[in-house]
Amino acid sequence: MAIHLYKTSTPSTRNGAVDSQVKSNPRNNLIYGQHRCGKGRNARGIITAGHRGGGHKRLYSKIDFRRNEKNIYGRIVTIEYDPNRNAYICLIHYGDGEKRYILHPRGAIIGDTIVSGTEVPIKMGNALPLSAISSSTSRKPYALEEACTVWEGVLIDQKDESTSTDMPLGTAIHNIEITLGKGGQLARAAGAVAKLIAKEGKSAALKLPSGEVRLISKNCSATVGQVGNVGVNQKSLGRAGSKCWLGKRPVVRGVVMNPVDHPHGGGEGRAPIGYGRTTGIEPAHGGFTIHCLDPLGYIRPPLATKLQNKKIEISTINHLFLSYLNYEDTNEETRGINFQTIFYYIEN
């Protein structure tokens, strides 16, 4: 979908950028209400995910992640907005009268046809097992009994479709199953795409959007192509109220809070966060405050945490560090030994 820029007619539309989408009413038999509880709280009512709450009331659309309508062609009728995910969904009318929602593949438009099965053409939006995705195969291409099919008075010519069943390694896929028959669980967000990089034995190696390479059974299915709405991160809501409709609360800086609310809170005026320099043998708040072992440097808390996890006495490190900073000691050999000992404690 394209990004629609608003004219600056009001302050709320200044710098606003949203998606231009096809507006349509959802199917009543495919949506149902849901009770949104928690909103960032756990079972005890404690905030575990901040800045969440409120938002517009939502209806949940039932998405077909399993794609178990085998060898039945379907046509994309609508492309709709789903408030429960950042990707669009599209309504599919199958040839047997079934109607389902699926994730909108990138580049799919209204009127395109899709199908799922073990011997289906390698085409965007089609779902097939990972075992069918290969650079070389002897399977015959899937063919319909009739060249054309009519749904609701619309003639769909299947002869123009690609009947190739050969897919080279590295092809983009999404909506990938982890457990056979459970439905797609990987690469479902807007713009998400994974790649099939290798197949060996009963497993297939996939490179996920995070960069992780995971082995999955070749019997699990996946959908060809990339999830649509790749420009979701280019949207500019334009005003705070639009963000509140999404259930996102304002984000407040820690330095303007009280000490009881945040470690950075408190103080008079623009106070620093409170990490001081290391003075003497005792470390400052949070541990050491020196990053580099330099006489003019500072030690940060992660270094002290690393030493504490290794069960190294901080007093020992302090003693060696102060010996290194002792400029009255003109023996360069002694100072060099202390410096090497400090790095030995840190690196090992």
Q: Which tokens sit at 119?
A: 């011997």
Binning pLDDT at 50, 70 and 90, where does residue 165 land? very low
Q: In the structure, what pLDDT confidence band is assigned to residue 236 with cuts at 50, 70 and 90? A: confident
Encoded tokens for 285? 């708040």
pLDDT at 224 over 90: yes
Q: Each residue of 13-54: pLDDT tens digit?
A: 777 776 666 566 777 889 888 887 778 999 898 889 989 999
Q: Is it the case that residue 230 has pLDDT exceeding 50?
A: yes
Q: What pLDDT is stored for residue 109 in this prediction? A: 92
* pLDDT per residue as tens digits for the range 74-96: 999 999 999 999 999 999 999 99
Strand 89-94 relative to strand 74-80, pairing? antiparallel
* Residue-wise pLDDT tens digits, 266-283: 988 888 877 655 555 555
Q: What span, in angstroms and rounded, lies between the C-alpha atoms of 6 and 237? A: 10
Amino acid at 346: I
pLDDT of residue 36: 78
Residue 3 reports pLDDT greater than 80: no
Q: Which domains does the chain have, with CATH numbers?
A: 3-227 (2.40.50.140), 256-347 (no CATH)
* 227 vs 187: CA distance, rounded Å: 8
Position 321 pLDDT exceeds 50: yes
DSSP letter for each residue of 45-73:
S-BSS-SB------EEE-B--S---BT--
Model pLDDT, residue 244: 92
**Between 69 and 282, where is the model more confident?**
69
**CA 24/CA 20 separation, integer angstroms:** 13
Name the average pLDDT for the chain: 76
Q: What is the mean pLDDT of residues 297-326?
A: 52
**pLDDT beyond 60 at 193:** yes
Cα atoms found within 13 Å of the Cα of residue 285, Cβ hemisphere only = 6
Pairwise CA distance, residues 62 & 31, whole Å:
6
Interval 293-320 mean pLDDT:
50
